[in-house]
Chain A
C-alpha cells in the first residue's frame, strides 16, 4: 500500500521530466545493446553478426520502451488526451444532443449550486465569532410553566459573578433610537449592552474602543459605539467623531469607537423586525436605571462564552445549581428569585429552526438533478446503441473493455463539467438575485455569496453527475458480444435493454412524484395559512407606529385630537389606537391571577393563574376599526374617558373563566385586592393577534386612550395608500414633534409574516415543476426511443391490417405498466419522506390523502400524455417507409 502510494507520487513528480526520462531510457537501452554486442564480439563473431544476434536477444526495442512508458504512467495521460479529443469531436458532431444534455445538466447542477450557496451561508459557515462553538444563550425559565423568558439584571449580574465555567457573560437588549440630524428625525436600530458584550464576543473596535466593563460601573458616563455604516453614512467618516457627543432620543452619549466594517452580529433578537429587518447600528451602555438590582423586569438577553474544554452538560448543571442557590437565598426582587435557567448553544438557538427547511431544499433540488441525470442517461443509452458497431470495431482493433469504458466516461464527464461550469457561472453572476429572493428573516441571508466551497460543491457535483449518468450506459454499451454485434441490425432492440429503460422510467416518475407530493403539501399548507381567518379585517387597514409627545400633567393627551382629525378625513372609515403593534408577537402578555380575584370561586380545573393572557390597551374604536365582532354585550363607550373602568374579554377567556355562564356583568381584579373591581361589558371574538400561524390567545381588553408610544390603526374605504401622506400631515398638525416610526398596511404585515413558508413552498414548487417537466421529457424520450426500435414490428403489424388505435393502445399499455409501477414506488417514497415536512406544514398532516391523490393523478396524466404523442406518431407512420428504412 505504502509502496503504491509512493509509486503514485513518483509518477507525478516525474511527469514534467518526461523528455528527460525518455532520453535516459534510450541511453540505457543503447548501452545494453552495446554490451550485448561486445559480448558477442568476444565470442568471436564478426561485427554484423554480433549486432544482429544482440538485437535478437534483446527483443523489440519499441516494446520495451512502451512497457517502461506504461510503468511510468505516461500512457494513461496519453490515452486521456486521446479520449478528450475524441469526446470533444463526438460532442461537436452531434450539436443537438450536446445542447440538450448540457442544458438539462446545467439546470440541475446550477439549481443545486444556488441552493447550496444559501445553505452554505446560513448553515455551514461558522458563526462570525472567534470559536463560536463555545457561545451559549442563557434564559430565565419560568418554573411553573416551563417557558423561557428574557433575563432580569439581577439574575444576569449574579450569574456572571458566580458562573465559573464561563470565560465571560454578556447581556444585551435590542431596541431602537431616535436620531435627529438637521431637524429630521430617524429611527435607528440598536441595542443596550453590558460592558462585557464585545469582550465576550471577542470583537475589537476598528477605531477608538468598544464598550468596556468599566462603562457598567456606577457613575460611569453613558457611551455609545457605532457601526461602520453609521459612521460613514451619518458622520461622513469623520475621524474626529470619536469622543464627540451623540444625542439619541434626548439622551447624550459619548462616542467611544467605531466597529469593524465586517462586523455582523448574529444573535437572537437583533434583527429588528419592527423597522423592516435591519441590523443594529448603535450600541449603548446599559443605563443606570436598567442596571437596577431591585428591578424584576426580565428584558435582557444573555450570551455567555464557556471556558475551553468545559462540556455543555456541565455548564447546564452549573447554571442550574446557581439558579437554585439564588432561589434559596431569595435575595432578589419579587418574582425573580423563583426562576430557573435554560442554556442553549448559540448555533442551535439561531439556526435550529431553519436547519430542517434548508435540508429539505437541498433534498428537493437534489431530486431535480437525479431526474435530469436519468434523462441524460437515457439519451446516452440510446446513442450508445447507435454506436454499437463503432465499439465493436474498436474492440476488434485491440481496445480492451476498460479502455472503451474510460472513453465513454470521459465523454460523460466532459459534458457534466461543461454543464457544471455553465451552472456555476449562472449562480456566480446571479448570486445577488438569489440572496434577494431569500426572506431576510432567515438568519445570515445577507452573507450569501459564492465562495470556494460553493465552487468545490459544483465541481464535485459535476464529476459525480458525470459518473452517475455515464456509468450505466457505458457499462451496457461496452458489454460486447463481438460476433453478433457486428452482424446484428438494430431492429430487435433486445429484452434486457427494455428492462433498463423501464428502470429509468420508473425512477424518473417516482422521484418526480416525491417532489410533487412535497410541493403539493407545502403549497396546500401555505394556501391554508393565507386563507385562514385571523378574526379581524385583512384589507383596507393602515398601521402607523407613533411616538407622540407625552401630554403634560393634567392636559389631555393629543391622541384624542389625532383620532378626531383623521376620522374627519374623507375616505377614512374609522380609526383607533392600540398600545402594542399587533401581528409582531410583541404584545406584552401578563398573567391574570384568578384566585380570589374572581367574585366567585374559580371553575374546577383552573389553577391560581391563567397563563399568558394578552393585555391589550385599546381606544374605543378598536373593534369597529379592526372589524372584530362583539359577540355579547357592547364595546367601550368613548364617554368613559381614560382608566380601566370597563373590561372586554375574548371569547375563549370568557369561556375559561365563566363556563356556561353569562360573562356580562361579572367582575375582575387586575393586580391585587387593592385595585377596584372592574365589570366585564362585552365579549369579543378571538383573533390571531400574534400572526397567522399562532393560535388565538386569551385576551383582555382595557380602554386606554393616552400614552405616547402607540400604534394608530386606520380603516380606509378602499385599499389605497394614497391617504397616507394626508394622515401623516394630520398627525403632525396636532403634534408637531410626533414621530411616525413606520407605516404599513395590515395586508403587508400578514404577507411578510409568512415569508418563510412562502419561500419554501415557492421554491419546492418550482423544483417540482422542473422535475415534472424533466420527467415528462424523459418519458417522451424513452417511449419515442422504444417505439423507434419497434418500427419494423409496427410496420409489419400495419401492413397486416392493425389499426392505429390498436397500435397506440399497444404502445401505451406497455408504457402504463412502467408508469404505474413508478407511481406506486413514488407514492411509497412520498409516504416515507414527507414525514420530514411535518414541522413545516400548517393545518394538514404530512400524509394528507387529498393532496397525494391529486398529485398522483396529475403525474399519471403527465406520463400518459408524454407517452401518447410518440405512440400516435408511430402508429401513423407509413409501413412501407418503416420497413424500407432498415
Chain B
C-alpha cells in the first residue's frame, strides 16, 4: 500500500461511514468501503480489517443499526442504516471537524 493511500484517522472514519450512510441510505459493509474509496478517488483504501470493526463500534454505540437484506447479486447480507442518534452524532462531529479544520488552516496560513 502506498503512502498516499494510508490509514484513515479513527475518529474521521466514523465520520466518513456515518456521512456515507446518511447520504446514500442503507448499505452493506462492502458498499460503504467501496463508496468511500470512490468518493476519495482511491485516496482512501479501506481494508475490511478497518471497516468491519468500525461498523461494529458504531452499532454498539447505537449510531447505526443493522438489518438483513438482499444484495444486488442476490445474497443475504447485513445492511446498515444510520439512526437518529447517529445523525445527531454526525452533525456534531461535522461541526467540530470543520471548526478544527478552520483552526488548523489559520495556523498553517501563518496568520
Taking a contact as CB atoms under 8 Å apart, the answer to whether B60 and A7 are in contact is yes
Taking a contact as CB atoms under 8 Å apart, the answer to whether A28 and B60 are in contact is no
A39 contact set on B, CB distance < 8 A: 34
A38 near B: Cβ within 8 Å? yes
Taking a contact as CB atoms under 8 Å apart, the answer to whether B61 and A58 are in contact is no
Known contacts: A28-B52, A57-B47, A60-B49. The answer to whether A38 contacts B60 by CB under 8 A is no
| Residue from B28, B47, B57 within 8 A of A58 (CB atoms) | B47
- Kindly report which residue of chain A lies nearest to residue B33, judged by CB atoms: A32
A789 near B: Cβ within 8 Å? no
Residues 32-61 of chain B, each 1 if its beta carbon lies under 8 Å from chain A, else 0: 011000000000010111001100110111
B87 near A: Cβ within 8 Å? no
B78 near A: Cβ within 8 Å? yes
- Kindly report which residue of chain A lies nearest to residue B45, judged by CB atoms: A57
> Roughly how many angstroms separate A64 CA and B48 CA in the complex, as a whole number?
7
B45 contact set on A, CB distance < 8 A: 57
Q: For residue A27, give the distance in angstroms from its CB to the closest CB of chain B.
A: 7
Q: For residue B86, give the distance in angstroms from its CB to the closest CB of chain A.
A: 11
Q: For residue A843, give the distance in angstroms from its CB to the closest CB of chain B.
A: 67
Q: For residue A815, give the distance in angstroms from its CB to the closest CB of chain B.
A: 54
27 CB < 8 A contacts A-B = A3-B63, A7-B57, A7-B60, A10-B59, A11-B60, A24-B78, A28-B52, A28-B77, A28-B78, A29-B48, A31-B77, A34-B73, A35-B30, A35-B73, A38-B73, A39-B34, A58-B47, A58-B48, A59-B47, A59-B49, A61-B48, A63-B49, A64-B48, A64-B52, A67-B53, A68-B52, A70-B53
B49 contact set on A, CB distance < 8 A: 58-60, 63-64, 67
- Kindly report which residue of chain B lies nearest to residue A61, judged by CB atoms: B48
Tally of chain B residues near chain A (CB < 8 A) = 24
Q: Which of A243-268 contact B (CB under 8 A)?
A: none
> Roughly how many angstroms separate A61 CA and B47 CA in the complex, as a whole number?
10
> Roughly how many angstroms separate A61 CA and B52 CA in the complex, as a whole number?
11
> Roughly how many angstroms separate A31 CA and B34 CA in the complex, as a whole number?
13
B62 contact set on A, CB distance < 8 A: 3, 6, 10
Taking a contact as CB atoms under 8 Å apart, the answer to whether A72 and B48 are in contact is no
A25 near B: Cβ within 8 Å? yes
B53 contact set on A, CB distance < 8 A: 64, 67-68, 70-71
Residues 1-40 of chain A, each 1 if its beta carbon lies under 8 Å from chain B, else 0: 0011011001100000000000011011101101110110
Which residues in A have some Cβ–Cβ distance to B below 8 Å?
A: 3-4, 6-7, 10-11, 24-25, 27-29, 31-32, 34-36, 38-39, 57-61, 63-64, 67-68, 70-72
Q: Which of B53-83 contact A (CB under 8 A)?
A: 53, 56-57, 59-63, 71, 73, 75-78
Q: For residue B40, give the distance in angstroms from its CB to the closest CB of chain A.
A: 15
Taking a contact as CB atoms under 8 Å apart, the answer to whether A68 and B56 are in contact is yes
Taking a contact as CB atoms under 8 Å apart, the answer to whether A31 and B56 are in contact is no
Taking a contact as CB atoms under 8 Å apart, the answer to whether A27 and B77 are in contact is yes
> Roughly how many angstroms separate A11 CA and B57 CA in the complex, as a whole number?
11
Taking a contact as CB atoms under 8 Å apart, the answer to whether B61 and A6 are in contact is yes
Q: For residue A167, give the distance in angstroms from its CB to the closest CB of chain B.
A: 50
A34 contact set on B, CB distance < 8 A: 73, 75
A38 contact set on B, CB distance < 8 A: 73
B57 contact set on A, CB distance < 8 A: 7, 71
Known contacts: A31-B28, A71-B53. The answer to whether A7 contacts B77 by CB under 8 A is no
A70 contact set on B, CB distance < 8 A: 53
- Kindly report which residue of chain A lies nearest to residue B62, judged by CB atoms: A6
| Residue from B30, B63, B76 within 8 A of A32 (CB atoms) | B30
> Roughly how many angstroms separate A28 CA and B51 CA in the complex, as a whole number?
11
> Roughly how many angstroms separate A28 CA and B29 CA in the complex, as a whole number?
8
Q: For residue B75, give the distance in angstroms from its CB to the closest CB of chain A.
A: 6
> Roughly how many angstroms separate A71 CA and B53 CA in the complex, as a whole number?
6
B61 contact set on A, CB distance < 8 A: 3-4, 6-7
